[in-house]
Amino acid sequence: MVSQFSTFKFQLSVEDVLAKAQAKERSLDRGEISFLLSLSDSDDIAKFFAAAYEVKVKHIGRRVALRGIIEAGNICSKDCLYCGIRRSNGALGRYSLSEDDIYRLAEECAKENYASLVIQSGELESDAHTLFIERVLKRIEPLNLGVTLSLGEQSEEVYKRWRDAGAARYLLRIETSNKELYAKLHPTGHSWERRVECLRALRRTGYQVGTGVMSCLPCQSIDDLAQDIIFFGEMDVDMIGMGPYIPHPEAPLSSLYSQDVSNEERLLMGLKMIAATRLYLHDINIAAATALQALADDGREQGIMAGANVIMPNITDTQYRRNYQLYAGKPCLDENEEDYRSALEKRLTDLGETIVYGERGDSLHYARRVR
Ligand code: 5AD
C-alpha cells in the first residue's frame, strides 16, 4: 500500500485525535483520519480500536445484529477487474435461485429469529429481473423481516418499485471514492458517477442507504482511504459494508498489479477502516464483512471489537457457495447450522457481546435523520 504519510513526522498525538473523535462525530479532518489509518505501533493500534469500540458501545450497546445473507444468483452484467463473478469469468458455473428457494431461505431466517435478511446477487438490469425481485419481496413481506437488497445499479424507478414491494435498505458499495482509481479497477462502460447517482436515488426513494469500499487495492493510498470515510459522511449513509480487497486468481486485477501485501496487513487495514469509520460516524450500522473472516477465523469478531455491530451469516445453500467466490478463500461454511451458530454466539458472548434476536436492527442514524 502506498502511504504518502510514512515519510514525514506527525505532530499529532494519538490520545488527542481519539479524544476529539469520540467527543463529536465528523470532527476529524482527512489528515487526522490518515494519521489513525497509518498507526503502526501495536499499543497505539490497540488504543485506536478500543476508542472506536467505546463509541460503538455508547451508541449501540454491546449488541451485535445478525442479517441472514442470501446469494440469490451469480449472473452479472459487470466486468469489475477484481471480482470473481465478473461477466468474463468463463470458469464459473452460473446459477439463479428460484422464487421458492429464496422464500424457503427467508422463512428459515425468520424461524431462526434473525429478523433481518440481505438479498444479494450479480448486477442485472432487465424487466424480467425487476419483476422477479418484486415478486420475491411481496411474497416474503408477511414474514416481517427487515429486508436489505444488494443488487447493484438500477434506475430510480426500479429502486422505487422494490421499495414499494417491501425492501427497506439497500447496499451499494462505491468501491472507492477516488474516481481515477475506480477507472483503473473497472473496464470502460462502468461509471463512478452513475454509482454515486444511484446512491442519491436510493436516498430519495426512502431507503436506509449503505455503501462501502475495499481497502488494500492496488494503487490505493492511505489518503484515498481517509477520503473514502469523508465520502461516507458527505453521502450521509446509514450503513457501511466494507472489507479488504483479496485477489482472485481468475480476475485480471491480480495479475495486472503485483502487490506485496500479506493477509495480516489486509486484515489490519480492514479493521482500521472499521475503527476510523466508527470514530467518524458514531451511530451508523457497520458490518464486519465476510472478507475479514477469509483472512482470519475470528476476523469478524475482531471487526466487532474494532467498532462494527453487524454480522451477516451466509444462509445460501452450501452447494451454491463455491460459485459465489468473489475472492480467493471465501469461506463456504454452513453458518446457519446449529453448531456454527452456537459457536459464533459463544465467541461473541466471551467478548461481552450479545446477539440481538428478533429485532430488525434498523440503522439508528436513519431513525434520527428521518425523525
Ligand atoms: N476482494 C474483496 N472484495 C471483493 N468484492 C468483489 N471482489 C472482491 C475481491 N476480490 C466485493 C466488492 C463488491 C462486493 C459484492 O464484493 O466490494 O461490491
86 lines ligand 1 (CB under 6 A): no
**Angle separating helix axes 14-23 and 30-37, nearest 10 degrees:** 120
246 lines ligand 1 (CB under 6 A): yes
pLDDT digits (tens, 9 = 90+) for 211-254: 999 999 999 999 999 999 999 999 999 999 999 999 999 999 99
CA–CA gap between residue 70 and residue 83 (Å, rounded): 18
Residue 186 has pLDDT above 90, yes or no: yes
Q: What is the pLDDT of residue 7?
A: 44
Measuring from atom 10 of ligand 1, which residue has the nearest CA? 327
Pocket test for ligand 1, best of 71, 74, 83, 185 (most atoms within 8 A of CB): 83
Q: What is the pLDDT of residue 275?
A: 98
Query: What's the longest Cα–Cα distance across the chain?
Result: 59
Q: What is the pLDDT of residue 333?
A: 62
pLDDT digits (tens, 9 = 90+) for 102-136: 999 999 999 989 899 999 999 999 999 999 999 99
DSSP-derived 3-state class of residue 190: coil
366 lines ligand 1 (CB under 6 A): no
Q: What is the pLDDT of residue 329?
A: 86
Q: What is the pLDDT of residue 360?
A: 86
Residue 10 has pLDDT above 90, yes or no: no
CA–CA gap between residue 315 and residue 300 (Å, rounded): 16
Q: Which cell numbers hold the place of 79?
A: 466486468
175 lines ligand 1 (CB under 6 A): yes
What percent of the chain is predicted at pLDDT more than 70?
A: 96
CA–CA gap between residue 323 and residue 122 (Å, rounded): 12
Nearest atom (ligand 1) to Cα of 246: 1
What percent of the chain is predicted at pLDDT more than 90?
A: 83
CB 72 within 8 A of CB 132: no
CA–CA gap between residue 191 and residue 229 (Å, rounded): 20
pLDDT-based confidence at residue 328 (cuts at 50, 70, 90): confident
pLDDT-based confidence at residue 48 (cuts at 50, 70, 90): very high
Q: How many angstroms does the Cα of residue 245 sit away from the middle of ligand 1?
A: 7
Q: What is the pLDDT of residue 331?
A: 83
Q: Got the DSSP string for 80-144? A: -TT-TT-TT-TTS---B--HHHHHHHHHHHHHTT--EEEEEE-----HHHHHHHHHHHHHHGGG-
Q: Which of 23-27, 32-36, 298-302, 322-326 has the lowest mean pLDDT?
A: 322-326
DSSP-derived 3-state class of residue 297: coil
Q: How many angstroms does the Cα of residue 83 sit away from the middle of ligand 1?
A: 6
Per-chain mean pLDDT for the chain: 94
Chain centroid to CA 158 = 22
82 lines ligand 1 (CB under 6 A): yes
pLDDT digits (tens, 9 = 90+) for 284-310: 999 999 999 999 999 999 999 999 999
Q: What is the pLDDT of residue 334?
A: 65
326 lines ligand 1 (CB under 6 A): yes
Q: Which of 3-17, 187-201, 244-258 has the lowest mean pLDDT?
A: 3-17
Query: Left if phi > 0, otherwise alpha if psi is -120 to 50, otherwise beta: which for 236?
Result: left
CA–CA gap between residue 182 and residue 67 (Å, rounded): 29
Q: Where are the alpha helices (DSSP H) in the chain?
A: 14-23, 30-37, 42-60, 99-111, 127-140, 156-164, 179-185, 192-205, 222-234, 253-256, 263-280, 290-295, 299-305, 318-321, 338-350, 364-370
Please compute the mean of the pLDDT values over residues 34-38 and round it to a whole number.
98
Q: How many angstroms does the Cα of residue 79 sit away from the middle of ligand 1?
A: 12
DSSP-derived 3-state class of residue 322: helix
